Amino acid sequence: MLTSDGFIRILNLLSVGVLVTGMLILWRRSLLSAVQIFGVQSLLLALMAVWIAFYTGAAHLYLIAFLVAAIKAVAIPVLLSRIIRRLDVYTEIEPYIGVATSLLVGAGLVVVAYFVMQPVADATNLPTHNALPLAFAMVLLGLFITVSRKKAVTQILGFLVLENGIFMLAVLATYGVPTIVEIGVFLDLFVGILIMEVLVYRINQTFESVDTHVLDELRG
Amino acid sequence: MLLLLLSIPLLLALIIWFLPASLRVLQLAHVVGATLLLTAGIGLFVQTYGGAVPTALNELLRVDLLSGLFVLLITLIAWIVGLYTIHYLMVEHQEHGVSLRGGRQFYFLLNVFIFAMLTAVTANNVGLMWVAVEGTTLATTFLISFHGTRAALESSWKYVLISSVGIALALIGTILFYFVNVQAGSEAEHALNWTSLRSAATSLNPEIVRMAFVFILVGYGTKMGLAPMHTWLPDAHSEAPAPISGLLSGVLLNVALYALLRFKIIADLRLGGAYTGNLLLGMGLLSLLVSAPLILNQTNFKRLLAYSSVEHMGLICLGLGFGGVFGTFGALFHVLNHALNKSMLFMLSGNILQRYQSTRIPAIQGLLGLMPWTGALWLLGILGLIGLPPFAIFASEFAIFRAGLTGGSALHLVVGIVGLILLSVIFAGFVAHNSPMVYGDPPEVMLAKDPPDVPPTGVGENDDPPVYPLWHTLREKLTWATAPLLLNLGLLLIMGIVLPPFLRETLQRVVLLLGGGS
């Protein structure tokens, strides 16, 4: 049997890997590579779930890990890449907030996450508790990407990073929520992304742009 | 009965998927289904009123009186909306190029939407509840963009993105509640069940419960349209087709409120009522503050109604925040009244839009003369909405503010007074907007004896006077577009004058369930 020390070391490594991918998404302007990085992040999360399942014997996490890998690491990146190619929008040219500032804000959000999640991390003696703030940092990063970018595809990506953060939180804090709920959440997410895809096509058709700042007719 | 209730809209959606694309057939199927659904809803409510607490699927679903009340509300309004769509969609099809396949998609999504709402209010598992509430967002996105105009696309994009992101925060809150429940020693498999949370409530870690409730409040508050997370609401509710606006404002906001209430019960058991109460007071007051000036300066009558929904959700929060028997009772009573009143007005706004081809307030004149049924219902509905007696909203607002002003707390007193001032601003705004719409003569062009035979131009997107087909200039008769709404008005009058005893008892018992008696 693996020592708890070794388990934690690998787990922390995976968590830091997830955070790095989050920062990379913030940094890259190329939408295709941002989508690929998101795929890598999801794969890391799937590995994390497998690792925890292996160590703790929480067998339902294997199924969840498979779903993450299939939906978030493969299906959704394929879907998003298709949108990018079809609509011919490869870069986020002028985000509302520049890249350098974004990275600074991102770092700040990680610090905030540590403060907010400390009570939760303190409340448990699970071997996973050290990485909890990183999960919440992903949530905040996702939120920030969604509000600071103009392209609809990047906003979807921000939402997905946020979802990954929530998934990581659930896996670390409670070894995942009961399977039926987890499956429901995946279903919502997948259908949600499909709906957003259709909407992006329609918006592109109607407005001839997927910069969401053209969506400014409704005010007051 | 519980599984029957949920299976009706699900089966109906499936059947509609395979029906031929004919409005008559679709509408017949939907109305029959909605009537069955209402019957099942009433049946389930009567069961819970009699003290039963039916459960199903290994306690995944559980219906107590609080759920029963919301089931009754959802099925009733869905039934009225179903009847209303008969006339509405026919006109949309004949004049606005809504295809028959579009009509089928409409009824399909409508039933999925109703299914998701009913699942949300009957779920015992708060994770499932979350899945269902997010499901309502997904089911309604394409209903909001139904007309396919630029504005409709813009609003549905904002809607799906902001609601999904917002409600993701509620998922974090849900996971945190699960976390503290497992920490407190509850069995992991059932620790997401509301009943499990309630029985462990007093041993939950209070610090994390506080934090989790904030996530829940922001998350479900987004879906409820509370300021400052309300920005998607006026767009979505004003661009959606009228029957959908009616359901969104009248029912869906309350489903989000229901989710919030479930967690409030747990949090209050651990923290006492003051913590959640003060948060709700803050959000409620902010919602009134944000909506009042926008109501005052509004030029679009559907957005006017939408901002009024932000206001009324704020009022409900005030009632819950004041707490006590009166505050909580008033808030719950207000939920019912607002649902009936606002869904009626939104459906009427659809009639007005179809006639006048505009959502601009200045474009609407002489409603009473041209459309006596719609006009009269609209006038009475607006008077009810702004809280004039003898309509029911007067009674519930009275109860809410009585709780605030006489509770003996200085904070509540101040909030209550500021709330009343804002309410009178909103009152003035509605009266000022409404009088020119209702009275006076219809625009010249609508009275033309011999209107030019040209299809109507765009729906109020520019300032050019639209051109009307013949029937738009005729005096309105009683049709499916108005007749079902007489029920809303009748109920609002009855409930405003004397609250039926069974309803009074229901509300009182739900107040106890919410801990408002302590």
- List b or e across B478-495, with b for residues whose CB sees 16 or more CB atoms inside 10 angstroms: ebbbbebbeebbebbeeb
pLDDT of amino acid B448: 55
Q: Cβ separation of B182 and A199 shorter than 8 Å?
A: no
- The ipTM value here is 0.93
Q: Which residue in A188, A198, A211 has the most chain B C-beta atoms within 10 A of its own C-beta, making it the best mutation to test that interface?
A: A188
Asked whether B320 and B277 are in contact (CB, 8 A), the reply is yes
- Range 301-340 of B in CB contact (< 8 A) with A: 303
Give the integer Cα–Cα distance in Å for B453 and B473: 12
Give the integer Cα–Cα distance in Å for B405 and B418: 11
Asked whether B476 and B371 are in contact (CB, 8 A), the reply is yes
Query: Which member of A177, A192, A195 has the closest CB to residue B127?
Result: A177
Q: Which residue in B57, B143, B150 has the most chain A C-beta atoms within 10 A of its own C-beta, making it the best mutation to test that interface?
A: B150
Query: Which member of B125, B183, B192 has the closest CB to residue A124?
Result: B183
- Range 62-91 of A in CB contact (< 8 A) with B: none
pLDDT of amino acid B466: 58
Share of chain B above pLDDT 90, in %: 83
What residues does each domain of chain B span? 313-451+466-518
pLDDT in tens, A25-77: 988 888 999 999 999 999 999 999 999 999 888 888 999 999 999 999 999 99
Residue B57 near chain A (CB below 8 Å): no
- pLDDT less than 70: residues of chain B: 447-468, 516-518
Give the integer Cα–Cα distance in Å for B466 and B450: 15
**With 80 as the cut, is the pLDDT of residue A214 above it?**
no
Question: What are residue B62's DSSP bridge partners?
Answer: B55
Share of chain A above pLDDT 90, in %: 53
pLDDT of amino acid B378: 97
Asked whether A166 and A173 are in contact (CB, 8 A), the reply is no
Q: Which residue bears the tokens 């058991």?
A: B269
Asked whether B418 and B285 are in contact (CB, 8 A), the reply is yes
pLDDT of amino acid A125: 77
Q: Cβ separation of B183 and A166 shorter than 8 Å?
A: no
pLDDT of amino acid A2: 57
pLDDT of amino acid B158: 93
- Burial class of residue B289 in the structure, from the number of CB atoms within 10 Å of its CB (0-12 exposed, 13-18 middle, 19+ buried): middle
Q: Which helix (H) or strand (E) holds B62?
A: strand B61-62
Asked whether B246 and B84 are in contact (CB, 8 A), the reply is yes
- List b or e across B114-152, with b for residues whose CB sees 16 or more CB atoms inside 10 angstroms: bbbbbbbbbbbbbbbbbbbbbbbbbbbbbbbbbbebbbb
Give the integer Cα–Cα distance in Å for A78 and A193: 12
- Burial class of residue A21 in the structure, from the number of CB atoms within 10 Å of its CB (0-12 exposed, 13-18 middle, 19+ buried): buried
Give the integer Cα–Cα distance in Å for B412 and B446: 51
Query: Which member of B138, B182, B188 has the closest CB to residue A191?
Result: B138
Q: What is the DSSP letter of B125?
A: B
Q: Cβ separation of A203 and B205 shorter than 8 Å?
A: no
Give the integer Cα–Cα distance in Å for A32 and A78: 10
pLDDT of amino acid B460: 46
pLDDT in tens, B365-402: 999 989 999 999 999 999 999 999 999 999 999 999 99
pLDDT of amino acid B518: 44
pLDDT of amino acid A87: 86
pLDDT of amino acid B459: 47
- Range 279-298 of B in CB contact (< 8 A) with A: 294, 297-298
Query: Which member of A191, A198, A218 has the closest CB to residue B155?
Result: A218
